Structure 1
């Protein structure tokens, strides 16, 4: 990850918004890790994925509403077709189906292996940015992608040392 974000990290300064962004990214990783652990614990009770997904999203929506209200933000809605189509797409495919698949993956292969799929997200984002936004690759980014691939290969294919 350091290689992929080398350009941004090399220009790092405590006097700009990079500190806030880095702090939020670290908090996001911690929250996702806690979410994975909670999911694994609840799956021990053999709860259905759809219901777990529903509760998680309902709590997240409620939390977001409370934060918005506490901050005094005005609640508005954009009625345009493009906004509504993108909202439905993200709600269904980017949230409901994606989290349902991830929770199922957690159940099938375990949190230790499923978590490494998340490491691939920046690589996928870079490929999409290359195709649609004209992202220019650098050597550190390419080296970072190679390290991600090698690391995931080792983790997914490692042998359990406790087994004979």
Structure 2
């Protein structure tokens, strides 16, 4: 994996297009577990593993073309997939200085190890290296993710009522954040 960063317990790496088919099954299992644990990621529960797998596999062309960057974090002891995050650089000519952060997930069994913050830090470093100066994202209002983004230095723009449903189908507002990158 390109961009590999390790510590004693977890390793973060950027997934290449060639590697994506080999990790798609694990990513699908992570998505299913995270949605079933209540995370609002654009899917409803119960999420079928086959549907999740097809969704990950469909990202291959975007990863290959650089329209999507995808990181994973793995538990060092057994190499088990513990989390992921995505960066989608903006395509329009007037927006090539920005990118959107999406699908930040940490497996419920691996929460409490600051993996979300580590994934964000790896993404922000790479985004800065690509010349991106502004990142945006949205997350369910009132969720633990909202508190994590604020603690990681992201600026809250506001919220949009009834933006999306949680996995059980209940409407929730979303909070929009941005982060300006140095340089």
Greater RCO structure (CA 8 Å; 6+ sep) = 1
TM-score above 0.5:
no
Q: TM-score, normalised by structure 2?
A: 0.27
Q: TM-score, normalised by structure 1?
A: 0.30
Query: Going by fraction, where is helix more abundant, 1 or 2?
Result: 1
Query: Going by fraction, where is strand more abundant, 1 or 2?
Result: 2
Greater gyration radius: 1
